[in-house]
Amino acid sequence: MSDLQARPEVFQNQPCLRLHHANGDAVLVALHGAHVLSWTSGGVERLYLSPEAVFDGATAIRGGVPVCFPQFNMRGPLPKHGFARTSAWTASGSGEDWLELQLHSSPATLALWPHAFSATLRIDLAPGALELGFTVQNTGAQPLDFALALHTYLRVQDLPGLDLRGLAGQPYWDDVAQTDRLETDVVIFEGEVDRVYQAAAEPLTLVDGPVQLRIDQSPELAETVVWNPGPTKCAAIADMPFDGFKHMVCVEAAHVNTPVTLAAGAEWTGWQRLIVVTPD
């Protein structure tokens, strides 16, 4: 990794890379799972990483931005959320404000999912902004189907006062109530929230008291997943503190309701962009 401009670092005994922007913003990424662990902007941590997260190089890390690929949740025969978040990725390049990591099919992945592929996670850092781009190449001779979610855990200060704007009018699957619904207003976080929305055409805004975060995603990602476990479910999650639900909300750029079908030799890219909104 001598040609990388990102700085190697060890965090919780795991090899990582830290990317610094000239303005002081920074991002920390673990090679295990290509997992973004931290994004600081304006001296403030913007992502939630569970203090109970497991860092053993095999277990999925709770918090940050897990990459759910090629399966979402338990919607298929693979381990929950697929294997990308528990695989060893390789840093393939970086510059002053970007970093790329790659994962290729291997005997281990082929034993679970019989498709040849190459996946790239690109991280772009700008003042007050973080963009995550995910590219899949089908390197095999047959079409392949996959799902993807960039499972972004956002750190919040005031869950009771939190709302997510921009999804009014969008249909969604409510996994708690096990029914289809239509969003009529802002998303309020009371109790467990677990929803798969049809993505809105315009960016969303997460309002956390005086703090606002603009959340955008590419048209290739057809859904937005919104999740907070609430107090009861959070207490049953081994790698979350009992009050962890008060400090996080997941707003995920996803394509999970129907699979992406990728022809042999074809390539697909989707992205999520987070921008800190500075008060006037």
**Cβ neighbours for 15, distance < 8 A, ≥ 6 positions apart:** 8, 30, 31, 32
Of 100, 183, 223, 252, the catalytic one is 252
DSSP string spanning 188-243?
E--S-EEEEEEPPSS-EEEEETTEEEEEEE-TT--EEEEEE-HHHHHHT-TTS-TT
Which H or E run includes 73? none
CA of 6: how far to CAs of 10, 88, 103, 106, 131, in Å?
A: 13, 18, 18, 26, 16
Compute the CA torsion angle 58, 63, 68, 71 (nearest 10 deg).
80
Q: Catalytic: 151? A: yes
Of 21, 151, 247, 255, the catalytic one is 151
Q: Catalytic: 252? A: yes
Catalytic residues: 151, 252
